[in-house]
Amino acid sequence: MSRITLDPITRIEGHLRIDVEANGGKVTNAWSSAQMWRGIEVILKGRAPEDAWSFVQRFCGVCTTVHAISSIRAVEHALDVEVPLNAQYIRNIMIAQHSVQDHIVHFYHLSALDWVDIVSALKADPKKTAQIAQSISDWPGNSEKEFKAVQDKLKAFVAGGKLGIFATGYWGHPAMKLSPEVNLMAVAHYLKALDYQRKASQATAILGGKNPHIQNLVVGGVATAINTENIATLNMERLIYLRTLMEETRDFVQKVYYPDLLAIAGAYKDWFKYGAGVTNYMAVPEFPEDTKNTKFMLPGGVVMGGNIGGIRMVKDHRDDYLIKNIKENVTHAWYEGNGTLHPWDGETKPDYTDFKENGKYSWCKAPTLDGKPVQVGPPAQIMAAYAAGNPKVKKLVDGAVSTLGISLKDIHSTMGRLFCRGARAHVMADLSLDNLDKLIANIASGDQTYANHTVIPKGEYRGVGFHEAPRGTLSHWIVIKNKKIENYQAVVPSTWNAAPRNDKGELGPYEASLVGNPIADASKPLEVLRTIHSFDPCIACAVHTVDPEGAEITKVKVL
């Protein structure tokens, strides 16, 4: 038996440590450990509720928008505030474009290199590469000239010893299966993806004022002034520019990303059999279409034990079952005690003990729904939309099942998660434009309202802000007392998926997904990377630097 420790395993900010035991060429046990502490909840106590959305964006330097949305919804839920339609559509566009950007980055820059061999691309025939690419997509960038230029650039990097971020990959690993030509195609699109993820970020910044860390939210709406004839507001020129950016990113997602995903999935069909792990899923509805958050463009749902046919649909964000049954346990987390608390009563009292595999070993708490561990992320939302009969999702899923020769239950897997994220990106690209059309139509009807002025009243109020973020269900829980934050807890997607064992000893989703994974070479555990990266791990939400001696680490002066 061999013990393998990967630390950090993430390709994005945050520190995640994964330990596995391998025996007989496969993983037999696993531990997931978030290595740094998040203290934002403590910082928020005593502050103004209407300012929380700005602070919580600092949970992360990447997914800032999702925390702002979830936080502002928590205050609006607590105070029963309606949100004007224009504000809902503006928020929806930012949410959808953030998802498009996030999913492009995840597929190409954070996970593709677990399947694509950069060095193999040096041996490819650019003409054959162009023929392959043109056979699966009519995207105009798939020319022999384009692929030759990328290959020449790659050769220059290798000759000059300047592989940079590519230098430490497991190139030539026996688990890499793509032909040199498909590898070259993927590398070329990897580089193009850098441009298109930027365009999606630009779209979010136009509405949000900046990105990351949007600046346009207020309790009761947005601060995005609307006047189609004013140069300083959201006007026709800005709306037209938004459409241009979103059409370009839509075409990249649907004509490059999605075909690439199916090509890679087809070459690695065996990975539809590994990595299922916890098959309890949860997704919340997203993209509200009315002022009271009762109608949504995409549904939510809860699947238990992988039974998609038995899904419990979630129609809105006031679902009593979710609100009452989401809790967090700290038996194996570096916090005081070993209890299970509802987020409104949640505590953030650090108690570091070093890594003890049978004791406490992570800064992540262990969230549960009705006492059970749950996996969140694109598979949950795609299952909910499929079960609800969403025609676009059904077409994508049924088409992939037919093309790849898999069954619906194969979604419960490492490759299934990658597929669902690609399908979700496909849907998000269209929803971006759908919401822009609705925004323009609503403005044209004469409605220019973008916020309902809200004053925080005296008294005690409790609220939860749900949001289906790119990595899965996100919820912020707030207790307001006499105009100040009495308590605040965030149960983020990575907390659900990266959770340690709970009080019953049940493995968290990362841990459970690794058990049974093959290990071809224990010194190069590529298979562990594939499964963990399929979740799009980002532990930034769960981290913040802390000195165990209590000393100040750095001082930042805000001007």
| Active-site annotation, residues | 13, 60, 63, 67, 471, 494, 538, 541
> Amino acid identity of 469?
A
Element (H, E) at 397: helix 391-404
> Amino acid identity of 499?
A
* Unique residue bearing structure tokens 């502050």: 47
**First CA to last CA distance, the chain:** 56
- Cα–chain-centroid distance for residue 371? 24
**Strand pairing of 326-329 and 340-341?**
antiparallel
For 218, counting Cβ atoms within 10 Å of its Cβ (0-12 exposed, 13-18 middle, 19+ buried), the class is middle
Structure tokens at 162: 């300047």
> Amino acid identity of 276?
A
Element (H, E) at 380: helix 378-387
Report the distance separating Cα 119 and Cα 54, nearest Å.
43
Which is nearest to 279 in space by CA: 370, 365, 379?
Answer: 379
Who's near 160: CB < 8 A, 6+ residues apart? Answer: none
CB-based burial, 428-441: b 16+ in 10 Å, e otherwise: bbebbbbbbebbbe
Report the distance separating Cα 359 and Cα 351, nearest Å.
12
Neighbours of 75 (CB within 10 A): 26
* Unique residue bearing structure tokens 């919820």: 475
Report the distance separating Cα 320 and Cα 296, nearest Å.
17
Which is nearest to 195 in space by CA: 145, 137, 146, 136?
Answer: 146
Q: Are 471 and 538 spatial neighbours (Cβ–Cβ below 8 Å)?
A: yes
Who's near 219: CB < 8 A, 6+ residues apart? Answer: 49, 50, 72, 75, 76, 79, 81, 454, 456
By three-state DSSP, how is residue 81 classified?
Answer: coil
Report the distance separating Cα 425 and Cα 486, nearest Å.
37
Beta-sheet strands, E only, within 177-257: 217-218, 221-222
Structure tokens at 214: 């949007």
Bridge partners (DSSP) listed for residue 22? 2, 27
